[in-house]
Amino acid sequence: MRTPIIAANWKLHKNRAEAKEFLNEFREKVKYISDVEIVLGPTFTTLDTVIEGTEGTEINVAAQNVYYEQEGAFTGEIAPNMLSELGCDYVIVGHSERRHIFGETDGDINKKVHAVFEDEMTPILCIGETEDERNEGKTQSVLKRQLESGLDGLDPSQVAEMIVAYEPVWAIGTGESASPEDAQEGCKFSRDLVSEVYDEETGEQVRLQYGGSIKPHNAEELMSLPDIDGGLVGGASLDPKSFSEIISITEELY
């Protein structure tokens, strides 16, 4: 059975003081959660605060991005070994904001996925179509391209261990999540593709998150879908109350 995983993507929010305030409340609220894996994804400068503040708990920590080189003349970048040294467990790779605002290509994203594994962290690979691509009937071809290139060169055991987050771009930050049918369809398509490219077992093992306007009021219908093993939560993860509610709702489903 796949362990559900709910991850927070704080994006460009919360400095260290705000993260401490969040943790004081959040730790209490999730202290009895045992069947859902919890991940917090703060900014780079707040990672150490969150890593220290979650010591002695089961909460894991994700960086929101990484560069694929270990060192060199790459002004402004952060290397995988720097994140693993801090104690990061996961790295979010290929988020739609990285792809669309910062111009990351499928090739860059694949190099990042490999780099994360090389430093013994786990990638959360984000894929998802834009509204125009959906309207033009290209959803499946976009997911296929992003997933096949994102996973290129990995072996089945790595794919089985990682997380793929299906985040339709039109549902991110809009308050309008995908319908349960569309969310399930995107995740099922991704799982079937992994089974086809690798094998059935790998397809059964890879954990798939849905992301895009998950809130406490829609968490139950989205998290209960057969091919959805958790969520990547932006806006609603900034508030300890709403984020812990999403986690508790998910735990009750398992």
Chain residues in the site for ligand PGA (CB under 6 A) = 9, 167, 172-173, 211-214, 232-236
CB nearer to ligand PGA: give 121 or 127: 127
Q: Given the structure tokens 């090389």, which residue do they identify?
A: 118
Q: What DSSP state is assigned to residue 231?
A: E
Determine contact, residues 177/218, Cβ cutoff 8 Å.
yes
Catalytic residue list contains 13? no
CB-based closest residue to ligand PGA:
234
Whichever of 115 and 172 has its CB closer to ligand PGA, that residue is 172
Q: How many CA atoms lie within 13 A of 247 on its CB side?
A: 26
Between 213 and 250, CB nearer to ligand PGA? 213
To ligand PGA, the closest distance from the beta carbon of 8 in angstroms equals 9
Identified catalytic residue from 97, 104, 129, 167? 167
Catalytic-labelled residue, pool 37, 95, 104, 185: 95
Query: Between residues 167 and 229, which has the closer beta carbon with respect to ligand PGA?
Result: 167
**120 is annotated as an active-site residue:** no
CB of 171 to ligand PGA, least distance (A): 6
Minimum distance of ligand PGA from residue 102's CB (angstroms) = 14
Q: In the structure encoding, which two tokens stand for residue 20, read together?
A: 């401490």
Nearest distance from C-beta of residue 224 to ligand PGA, angstroms = 18
What is the full DSSP assignment across 87-137? T--EEEES-HHHHHTS---HHHHHHHHHHHHHTT-EEEEEE---HHHHHTT
- How distant is the alpha carbon of residue 70 from its chain centre? 22
Half-sphere exposure of 157 (CA within 13 A, CB side): 1
User: Could you list the active site residues?
Assistant: 95, 167
